[in-house]
């Protein structure tokens, strides 16, 4: 038993090391995209912080979702954040599963390049939208009488740049249309829908996305329009970007991923293929059969040469 456990641990360690090497090579080629996506997350937070200075509390707008869903109250508003945190952490864990499990279909670096592209496009549209019109926030800390409803003018640039993380992210006002929580939730669910392997998890993901929508409205974090716009905007963004972005290599067949060849490697590969063609060999490895050249013609089988020679002697 001890020896068996030792062998399994050794295999797991080798798998982790091999996967780490592959991901580092991919990161060396894609770090600019990853870095750009992470920087834009900060820009998005900075924009949300900036619109809070413009927020003016007022009467809560008439909303059909507020009529249909009972208000959770401040003591239960954490339920929405708990569900979102579960979705966020679960997706991160899934993207790193190739380091542990044998049945791996994705590359962690490449999947995050794709996810960040979806997030950046959706968040860019969101920034334009909530800066176009500032609505009175329906959240508890955004209503008239709350100290957080209006932010005093910043005393320095540093105060703005720090964005009061993480409290500034969870207690913002004015960044309403459309919901940032739904952007992340829908991007994660759509990504797993395409690259995930468990059907039950896909169905659970969509169910959680619907429940999350209701919880956001019930906790009065957003108006119903914020959630509704997020549903069709994010789906459209993912639909169109998914067609423009290069498709990820599929690992289910067990084939190892080949990194892009350098110019030197491409030249050497081209020379090797030309050499094979000159010698009468096909470029396809499955068609590497011995060939014989007779009278300027290349024949696939030496027996054909013997038959032709016999026919010529009989003539």
Q: Given the structure tokens 């499990």, which residue do they identify?
A: 101
The token duo for 50 is: 């900036």
Q: Of residues 226, 284, 287, 308, which has the active-site annotation?
A: 226
Catalytic residue list contains 222: yes
Q: What is the crossing angle of helices 108-132 and 180-195, to 10°?
A: 150
Tell me the CA distances in angstroms from 62 to 132, 199, 215, 225, one per residue in order: 20, 39, 18, 11
Q: Which residues fall within 8 angstroms of residue 261, CB to CB, at 6 or more apart?
A: 269
Q: Is 181 a catalytic residue?
A: yes
- The token duo for 188 is 């994660």
DSSP line for 79-109: HHHHHHHHHHHHHHHHHTGGGT-S-----HH
Q: Give the residue carrying structure tokens 């974090």.
A: 221
- H helix intervals, 133-278: 157-162, 167-170, 180-195, 199-218, 224-244, 263-278
Catalytic hit among 181, 265, 267, 287: 181
Cα-Cα-Cα-Cα dihedral sign, residues 160, 166, 172, 178: positive
DSSP 252: T
- Tell me, yes or no, if 44 is annotated catalytic: no
Q: Comparing C-alpha atoms, which of 226, 253, 246 is closest to residue 172?
A: 226
Q: Indicate which residue of 44, 52, 55, 222 is catalytic.
A: 222
The SS3 assignment for 297 reads strand
Question: What are the CA-CA distances from residue 77 to residues 184, 215, 218 (Å)?
Answer: 19, 8, 8
Task: Please list the active-site residues.
Answer: 181, 222, 226
């Amino acid at each position: 038993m001890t020896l068996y456990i030792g062998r399994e641990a050794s295999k797991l360690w080798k798998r982790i090391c091999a996967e780490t090497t592959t991901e580092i090579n991919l990161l060396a080629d894609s770090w600019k995209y990853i870095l750009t996506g992470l920087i834009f997350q900060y820009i998005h937070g900075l924009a949300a912080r900036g619109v809070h200075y413009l927020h003016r509390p007022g009467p809560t707008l008439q909303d059909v979702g507020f009529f249909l869903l009972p208000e959770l109250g401040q003591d239960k508003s954490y339920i929405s954040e708990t569900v979102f945190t579960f979705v966020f952490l679960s997706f991160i864990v899934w993207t790193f599963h190739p380091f542990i499990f044998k049945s791996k279909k994705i590359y962690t670096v490449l999947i995050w390049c794709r996810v960040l592209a979806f997030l950046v496009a959706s968040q860019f549209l969101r920034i334009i939208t909530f800066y176009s019109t500032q609505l009175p926030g329906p959240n508890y800390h955004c209503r008239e009488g709350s100290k957080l409803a209006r932010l005093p003018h910043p005393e320095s640039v540093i105060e703005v740049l720090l964005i009061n993380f993480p409290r500034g992210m969870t207690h913002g006002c004015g960044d309403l249309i459309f919901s940032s929580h739904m952007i992340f939730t829908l991007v994660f669910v759509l990504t797993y829908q395409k690259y995930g392997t468990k059907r039950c998890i896909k169905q659970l993901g969509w169910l959680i996305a619907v429940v999350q929508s209701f919880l956001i409205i019930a906790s009065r974090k957003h108006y119903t329009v914020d959630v509704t716009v997020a549903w069709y905007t994010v789906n459209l963004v993912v639909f169109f970007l998914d067609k423009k972005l290069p498709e990820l290599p599929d690992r289910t067949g067990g084939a190892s991923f080949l990194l892009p060849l350098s110019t030197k490697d491409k030249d050497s590969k081209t020379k090797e293929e030309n050499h094979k063609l000159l010698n009468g060999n096909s470029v396809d490895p499955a068609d590497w059969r011995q060939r014989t050249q007779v009278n300027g013609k290349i024949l696939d089988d030496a027996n054909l040469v013997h038959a032709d020679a016999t026919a010529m002697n009989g003539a």
